[in-house]
């Protein structure tokens, strides 16, 4: 790999680079940064213009913070608010667990800052540019109805749950879990939901759960995972949110007026996450549920590992499924088990009642969330 920038072929008809990354969420930016830091010339494209919104609880674990720092991008977290506790409510039961771990940061802020870090590292960034991989493994880029073609030795797919970059390729179909929840969320004005600074406030109800956290600006990020049938039964998304927030909803007017956004079904995995010259990372490789607040961490760690691998190995796709599994299998299994428990609010209430008297096991479970997997098989890329 050479560190010169990508270039156009002599006839100017196609852009050529070592690594192309599709999607500039946390997974894509981490991949682009890691590849560029390892000496590759990198193209990063996203169909959105930044800053862009994303339905997310905006809580980043310590492992996510460490991974961003290892990429030399700690500046992206300058405004983040430290988190110190989780408060879980279910019916009349509640449990507050101390957990000095992770930060809250608005996705608009974090994602835009990471794209800027990638640009500073020499990555060619193209926003408002949609990409798809053609069957011959070239990339078709569309920006403002203008089409162009790019060629990369390795393409990293980081286009999230709703991406379309792999639609023309066979073998990458999604397997979606039968009882999958869908997500929705918004940002509400300060004080419209009861939630102290530095605390993650979760409420588990029949058919789903909802979380709130104060962002550095004082606004409240609200995000939920819900059974699609429960959402259909409510009159509107805002009515469902109001109901799920219960007594913590302080400003019904703000909740009704907010612009709520939804997601596709959440619990899913790809039939495959690698093929010759292609690695799939972040949500685009699979997702479980948001309760443990680890999605961005999985996105950043898998993105960074794929970027470093793509820059240093000619057949990175051969190693990728093993590396990806080592990074995500344990935490995803834990998250899947927890999501089953959360589908039984009566059982959750019993657990919270036990936790009021014996909090230690709950505290140690909470502090395990977002912990670094034991095997971290890809060395961190250079940060200089």
Q: Judged by CB under 6 A, does residue 131 bind ligand FAD? A: yes
How many other C-beta atoms lie within 10 A of the C-beta of residue 129? 22
Site membership for ligand FAD, residue 295 (CB under 6 A):
yes
- Interaction between residue 208 and ligand FAD (CB under 6 A): no
For ligand FAD, the binding residue among 21, 27, 43, 103 (CB under 6 A) is 27
Count CB atoms within 10 A of the CB of residue 194. Answer: 16
Q: What is the rounded distance in angstroms from the CA atom of residue 287 to the CA atom of residue 181?
A: 11
Q: Are strands 81-82 and 103-104 parallel, antiparallel or unpaired?
A: antiparallel
- The span of 20-28, 72-80, 144-152, 250-258 binding ligand FAD (CB under 6 A) equals 20-28
| C-beta of 1 vs 48, nearer to ligand FAD | 48
> In b/e form, how buried is each residue of 272-281, taking b as 16+ CB within 10 angstroms?
bbbbebbbbb
Q: Does 286 bind ligand FAD (CB under 6 A)?
A: no
Q: What character string, x for contact with ligand FAD (CB under 6 A) and - otherwise, covers 180-199?
A: ---x-x--------------
Which residue has tokens 């690698």? 274
Binding of residue 85 to ligand FAD (CB under 6 A): no
C-alpha angle with apex 301: 300 to 302, nearest 5 degrees?
95
Distance CA 222, CA 245 (A): 9
Q: Which residue has the tokens 């990458």?
A: 172
* Angle in degrees, CA 333, 330, 179, rounded to 5: 15
Note whether 168 and 51 are within 8 A (CB). no
Cα of first residue to Cα of last residue in the chain, in angstroms, is 17
Among 32, 36, 43, 56, indicate the residue that binds ligand FAD (CB under 6 A): 56
The reply on whether position 48 binds ligand FAD by CB under 6 A is yes
Q: Which of 18, 199, 294, 317 binds ligand FAD (CB under 6 A)?
A: 294
Task: List Cβ neighbours of 145 (8 Å cut-off, separation of 6 or more).
Answer: none
Q: Considering beta carbons, is residue 55 or 90 the nearer one to ligand FAD?
A: 55
Residues near 337 by beta carbon (within 8 Å), at least 6 away in sequence: none
Q: Which of 62, 159, 199, 317 binds ligand FAD (CB under 6 A)?
A: 159
Size of the site for ligand FAD (CB under 6 A): 45
Residues 209-268 that bind ligand FAD (CB under 6 A): 223-225, 263, 266
22 is an interface residue for ligand FAD by CB under 6 A: yes
Told to check if 207 binds ligand FAD by CB under 6 A, we report no
Binding residue (CB under 6 A) for ligand FAD from 238, 297, 301, 328: 297
Give the interface segment with ligand FAD, choosing from 57-65, 92-100, 115-123, 318-326 (CB under 6 A): 57-65
Tokens of 203: 């409420």
Q: How far is the CB of 283 from ligand FAD (least distance, A)?
A: 4
Alpha carbon separation from 202 to 91, 195, 212, 338 (Å, rounded): 12, 10, 7, 14
Binding of residue 47 to ligand FAD (CB under 6 A) = yes
Residue ranges that bind ligand FAD, judged by CB under 6 A:
22-28, 45-48, 54-60, 130-132, 158-160, 163-165, 183, 185, 223-225, 263, 266, 282-284, 287, 290, 293-297, 299
């Amino acid at each position: 790999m050479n560190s010169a920038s990508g270039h156009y072929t002599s006839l100017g008809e196609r852009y050529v680079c070592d690594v192309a990354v599709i999607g500039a969420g946390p997974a894509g930016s981490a991949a682009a940064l890691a590849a560029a830091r390892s000496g590759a010339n990198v193209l990063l494209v996203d169909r959105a213009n930044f800053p862009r919104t994303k339905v997310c609880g905006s809580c980043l674990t310590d492992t996510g913070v460490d991974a961003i720092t290892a990429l030399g991008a700690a500046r992206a977290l300058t405004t983040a608010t430290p988190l110190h506790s989780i408060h879980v409510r279910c019916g009349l039961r509640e449990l507050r667990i101390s957990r000095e771990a992770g930060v809250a940061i608005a996705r608009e802020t974090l994602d835009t800052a990471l794209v800027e870090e990638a640009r500073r590292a020499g990555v060619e960034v193209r926003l408002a540019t949609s990409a798809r991989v053609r069957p011959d493994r070239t990339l078709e880029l569309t920006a403002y109805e203008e089409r162009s073609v790019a060629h990369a030795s390795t393409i990293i797919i980081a286009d999230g749950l709703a991406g379309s970059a792999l639609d023309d390729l066979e073998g990458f179909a999604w397997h979606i879990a039968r009882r999958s929840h869908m997500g929705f969320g918004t940002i509400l004005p300060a004080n419209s939901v009861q939630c102290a600074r530095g605390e993650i406030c979760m409420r588990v109800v029949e058919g789903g759960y909802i979380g709130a956290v104060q962002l550095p600006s004082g606004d409240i990020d609200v995000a939920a995972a819900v059974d699609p049938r429960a959402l259909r039964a409510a009159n509107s998304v805002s009515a469902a949110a109001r109901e799920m927030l219960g007594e913590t909803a302080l400003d019904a007017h703000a909740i009704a007026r907010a612009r709520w956004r939804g997601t596709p079904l959440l619990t899913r995995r790809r039939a495959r996450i690698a093929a010759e010259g292609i690695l799939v990372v972040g949500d685009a490789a699979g997702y479980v549920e948001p309760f443990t607040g680890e999605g961005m961490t999985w996105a950043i760690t898998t993105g960074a590992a794929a970027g470093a691998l793509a820059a240093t190995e000619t057949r990175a796709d051969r190693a990728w499924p093993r590396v990806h599994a080592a990074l995500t299998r344990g935490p995803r299994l834990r998250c899947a088990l927890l999501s089953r428990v959360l589908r039984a609010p009566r059982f959750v209430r019993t657990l919270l009642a036990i936790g009021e008297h014996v909090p230690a096991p709950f505290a140690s479970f909470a502090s395990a969330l977002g912990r670094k997997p034991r095997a971290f098989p890809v060395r961190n890329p250079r940060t200089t």
